[in-house]
Every structure is written in C-alpha cells, then in structure tokens.
Amino acid sequence: MERDQGKLLRKWIKLWLLSIDTASKVTGLALNDNTTLVAESFLHTGKNHSERLMPMVLQILANAGVDFSDLGAVAVTSGPGSFTGLRIGMATAKGIAQVKRIPILGINTLDALAQGGLGFNGVVVPILDARKDEVYTASYRAENGKVVLLDSYRAISPRILSQELRLADTRVLFLGDGVATYKELLEEILGHNAVFLPERLSLPRAANVGALAAARMALGSYDDLYTLKPMYIRQSEAEVTWAKKFGQGGC
Amino acid sequence: MDKKNLILSIETSCDETAAAVIADGHDILANIIFSQIPVHQKFGGVVPEIASRHHLEHLPQVVAEALQMAEVSFSDLDAIAVTYGPGLVGALLVGVAGAKAMAAAQGLPLIGVNHIEGHIYANFLVHPQLQFPLLCLLVSGGHTHLVLLQDHGKYKILGRTRDDAAGEAFDKVARAMGLGYPGGPQIQATAATGNPLGIELPRAWLEPGSLDFSFSGMKSAVLNYLNRAGQKGEVVDKADLAASFQQAVIEILVGKTLTAAKATGVRTVLLAGGVAANQALRQSMTDACNAAGYNFYYPPIELCTDNAAMIGCAAYYKYLRGEFSSQDLNAIPGMALA
C-alpha cells in the first residue's frame, strides 16, 4: 500500500526532464531524473539537426526506459546560436510540451556553455561562432564551484572582445565552438592569459542545460509555451537594411 | 457508427502559420490561419528569416486554437500531417520539427505532405466524390503547373512555367505599379474598373502545342510600358494596365488548360493555388469549360490561398494508403510534385 502510494506520488511529481540543445553544430540531449543526469546524447557530425534530433530523442528515452508520458518538463537552449538550429530545438521542445501538457524551460546557450568552466577559478568566456567574423559571447566569473554572469549577451568581433579582455589583465578560459576558429587570434592578443581546454571539454553539452534547468525547476521557475522565443541577438538582414534606410528599428 | 478519422495538419511553408483539424478527409472541423502579411508588407515581400521567427512564435497558439475549435484533444487524433516542401526551408523546418515532436509525444503516425499536392487537394475538401482522371491547373506565387491526376497520389506534370510563376508575375507587376504586396489581390482590385483590352500586351504561347508557360516576357512588357510612360511624362491608367495584364495572363492560363484537356481526353478540370482566388480567372475558366463541355471545379477562395485544411485533406488519402513518414523527415525546399 505504502509502496503504491510512493509510486503514485512519484508518478504525480513526474520529475523526468528532457533537455534539448541544437543551438550550434552539436546535437545534444540530456535526460535527468530530478538533478541526477541519467542519459546524455552528443552528436558532432556536422550533419543537420532536423533529421537526427527526433530519432535521438526516441532513442535516449528508450535506452533509459522512459516514456514521453513520464516527462515532467522539457528544457531547450533558447539562444544565442544558429537561427535555424534554435528554431528546430524550440519547435521540438514546444511540440512535446504542448502534447504532454508539461512545463517548458528556455536555458541560455552561453549560460549552459559557461558551466564547462565550473572547475576553473577566473573569468570564463564562452564563444559561439556567429559567422560574419563575430562570436556570440558573454563573460562569467567562475569561483568556488559557481559560475556568475558578469555582463550581457552579445555578438561581437573576437578581436574587439579580446582587446577588451586584455585590459582586465587576467586569465580567461574560452569555451565553445568559436575556439577552433579564433584560438590563434585570442592567443595573439591575450598571450598566456588565454586558456583553452581540449575540444571534448569545450563544446556544448546538454548535461549542462539539464543542470541549469533542474536548478530552475527546484525554484518553480518555468517559461510559457506560448511566449517563449529564442534570443537571436541579431535582427534579420532585411530588418537591418530597412533600419539603415529608414532609420528605425524593425518589426 | 464508426469513429471518424481525425487529422491535425500543420502548414508553415511561407508566410501563413496554419493548423487545421479534418474529419474523414473532407469535414473541416477547424481551419486556423495566422497570416503574417502585415509583418512582411513593409519589406515588399516575404522575408524568410522573419517568416521563420513568426512561425515559431505562433505555432503552439494556432494548434491550440485548431484543437479547441474542433473540440478535440491530441488523444482523439489519428495522425498529424505537415507540409515538408516545397517552400522556404527555415519556415518549413518549424512546422516539420513541431509536427514530428507532437506525433512522437502522442504516439501518432506522421504524414509529410507536398504543399502543391495540398493545393490540388483543396478541391477534394469540397468535392470528395471527384472521379479520375482529372486535369488541374495549379497557379500560385511559386508554381504554374498543368497536372494530370490519374488517381490519388498519381500525378503527371503536363506543363510548367519556364520562368516566373503566374503569381510571381502578378507580384512583380504590382510592385512596379506601386500597388504593394501581395500583388494578386492588388492587381485584381485595380483591374476591376479597367478595360482589359485597353493596353495591348503580348501573349507568350510558346511553340505550337506546348503546355508550358512563360510570363517573364509579359511582365517585362508591362515594365517597359511603365518606363516609356515615365520618360514621356505620361500618366498611366493603372486600372487599364492592371486589367490588360490580368487578361493576358488569364488568356494563356485558360487557353493552355483547354488544350491540355483536349489532348488528354479528360472530362473534368480543376483549379488550385493562390492565383485560383482570382475572380476573373474563375469566371473565364468557367465560361471556357462550359462552352467546351468540361466539368469545372474550384475551391472556395479561403481554401485557394495557403491553409492547413488542404494539407489535412491530402494527408487523409495518404493515411488510407498507409503512406506514413518517419521521424527523420526533413524539410525539402525545392520538392517536386512528380
């Protein structure tokens, strides 16, 4: 009887959390039972998310013996990142949330990436390739097992970013897929203050998205299915051109 | 009484975020369309990135409204259908990703539908008893096709445009005349008071017997006419120009359709696509088919322009044939009909 009640309560609470990250070239999934990471998928093949994401979702759930009906929430990286990648992830997360009537959580891509610097003491700067010779970035301070955001999310040229960071004259850990492209430039400007990790520890991991989402769930903080949208940072080209021509913001 | 087949369909291929619930392939329980036209108007045409952003923002609401209006829930459905091409890739991907997730989460079959096929099937929404073979003139902003329908899902393209689609020509001419976007309704409204024989424009019939189309020459003739008038400082009678251009396009569309009907021996002609909403085209085709003794059907205007009901209708016949899509379904922006 007691066991049944426990089972019922457990079913009622439904803490299984599925986290989706398709903001960069990595297709990432994590499955958490409350704060415990139970399964993680990481695909870095350079192929598109659209074909792979749902088969991976079905696979990770099957491997963990979890059904869609067991999910208590779904989390997704909400940007910045590849516009199309963000939309594939969020449309998928929203579809699951809408059908299963479960809460959705948008987790900032850079916040999740910065979690990779948890073991570091100093400034952590995730950089995601934003093309057009820019990176999506923000600065964080990592100390005593915590990572705290220092400034705001933006798209910026890596040269200007590293010149800014040089003024601080401190060790900076760079994470993310922008490292592969801009490592030489960062080293040239920051010298030994630029710190890097091997790629396997530097690329986005959905486990970090799950950790941040689980922390928000513990506080009862969720997003709204109907109003959650990606943080693109950049406007579309058409809006930029229109604003240049007419001197106003876009729609 | 047997339970009705219920399909939730989603359409996000261009600038309409749409969802519908269709019972037994023809009973439209809900047909919700969130039009982004006002968003794109200031840019003079659809901006793909902005369209994609709006699809993502509005899809859950549009789906919720469709289910609510149909008074069904996800658990009542038999399948989820989605347009996966042709169209704008970023826009298609939103609908495809959403539909796949919904189908998987509810444990339902997924049905990917070709957008052009959907336009043709708008006819089966209102006339489910249509008998094959059928000849369909499909005219939209992206396509101008003469299609022979041999059976459900069996298409043969008899002719297609070699340059601009008919709707595209309308859009470009409307823009050149300063009439705004979308061009079709603007041309039609401006043409209402004009003389269709007022301004002489060429008709591109191509080589004898050809069922292909070409509208770029006719479009250029209008642009040249506007330029010449501008250089001479003459005032253009926009009503006459719109009416004359519309008339030239319609003559070609109707003429080629009747040639195709004659060549194939088909007795029934269908009209489909956004340009099928044009009243003058509907009237001319009705008159021509009546005179030649063909049956002629066309969907109501609200089912001619992009909508999800037509996708649900096409999906129903795929459902009956057991043609389901797998969870690796991808958007195919340049997808062909046949």
A71, closest residue in chain B (CA to CA): B105
A150-173 confidence digits (pLDDT tens): 999 999 999 999 999 999 999 999
Mean residue pLDDT across chain A: 93
Instruction: With beta carbons less than 8 A apart as the criterion, state whether B30 and B67 touch.
Output: yes
A248 has a pLDDT exceeding 70: no
Over residues A75-85, the mean pLDDT reads 97
CATH architecture type of domain B6-120+304-321: 2-Layer Sandwich (3.30)
Quick one: three-class SS letters along A9-29?
Answer: HHHHHCCEEEEEECCCCCEEE
- Residue B181, pLDDT score: 82
* Among candidates A50, A239, A242 on the partner chain, residue whose Cβ is nearest the Cβ of B96: A50
* CATH class of residue range A2-108+204-236: alpha beta
pLDDT in tens, chain B (338 residues): 568 999 999 999 999 999 999 999 999 999 999 999 888 988 888 999 999 999 999 999 999 999 999 999 999 999 999 999 999 999 999 999 999 999 999 999 999 999 999 999 999 999 999 999 999 999 998 899 999 999 999 999 999 999 999 999 999 999 999 998 889 999 999 999 999 999 999 999 999 989 999 999 999 999 999 999 999 999 999 999 999 999 999 999 999 999 999 999 999 999 999 999 999 999 999 999 999 999 999 999 999 999 999 999 999 999 999 999 999 999 999 999 87
Over residues A2-23, the mean pLDDT reads 71
- Residue A249, pLDDT score: 45
B41, closest residue in chain A (CA to CA): A251
B54, closest residue in chain A (CA to CA): A229
A237 has a pLDDT exceeding 90: no
More confident residue, A248 or B27: B27
Q: Which of residues 114-133 of A touch B (CB under 8 A)?
A: none
A56 backbone dihedrals φ, ψ, rounded to 5°: -65, -40
B176 residue type, one letter: A
Over residues A187-215, the mean pLDDT reads 97
A69, closest residue in chain B (CA to CA): B105
B336 touching chain A per CB within 8 A: no
Q: How far is A54 from chain B (nearest CA, A)?
A: 6
The interface predicted TM-score of the complex, written ipTM, equals: 0.94
- Residue A216, pLDDT score: 96
Cross-chain Cβ contact B56/A229 below 8 Å: yes
B88 touching chain A per CB within 8 A: no
d(CA B188, CA B238): 11
- Residue A19, pLDDT score: 98
Over residues A43-57, the mean pLDDT reads 95
- Residue A244, pLDDT score: 84
Instruction: With beta carbons less than 8 A apart as the criterion, state whether B62 and B311 touch.
Output: no
d(CA A229, CA A226): 9
Tell me the two tokens of residue A114. 């910065």
Query: H-helix or E-strand containing A42?
Result: strand A36-43
Cross-chain Cβ contact B97/A95 below 8 Å: yes
Domain boundaries, chain A: 2-108+204-236, 111-202
B98 touching chain A per CB within 8 A: yes
- Residue A214, pLDDT score: 96
A232, closest residue in chain B (CA to CA): B53
Instruction: With beta carbons less than 8 A apart as the criterion, state whether A123 and A170 touch.
Output: yes
Instruction: Identify the CATH homologous superfamily for domain B132-300.
Output: ATPase, nucleotide binding domain (3.30.420.40)
- Residue B182, pLDDT score: 85
Domain boundaries, chain B: 6-120+304-321, 132-300
- Residue A9, pLDDT score: 53
d(CA A145, CA A29): 23
A245 has a pLDDT exceeding 50: yes
- How many A-B residue pairs are in contact by the CB < 8 A criterion? 113
B88, closest residue in chain A (CA to CA): A84
Residue A51: list chain B partners with CB under 8 A. 328-330
| Overall fold of domain A111-202 | Nucleotidyltransferase; domain 5 (3.30.420)
* Among candidates B47, B55, B331 on the partner chain, residue whose Cβ is nearest the Cβ of A50: B331
Q: Tell me, what DSSP letter sits at residue A107?
A: E
| Residue in A215, A217, A208, A206 with CA at minimum distance from that of residue A40 | A206
Residue B56: list chain A partners with CB under 8 A. 87, 90-91, 94, 229-230
Domains A2-108+204-236 and A111-202 share a fold: yes
Looking at the DSSP bridge assignments, the partners of residue A155 are A136
- Residue A250, pLDDT score: 39
Tell me the two tokens of residue A9. 């309560």
Cross-chain Cβ contact A83/B49 below 8 Å: yes
The pairing of beta strand B134-139 with beta strand B144-151: antiparallel
Neighbours of A51 (CB within 10 A): 16
A240 touching chain B per CB within 8 A: no
Q: How far is B226 from chain A (nearest CA, A)?
A: 25
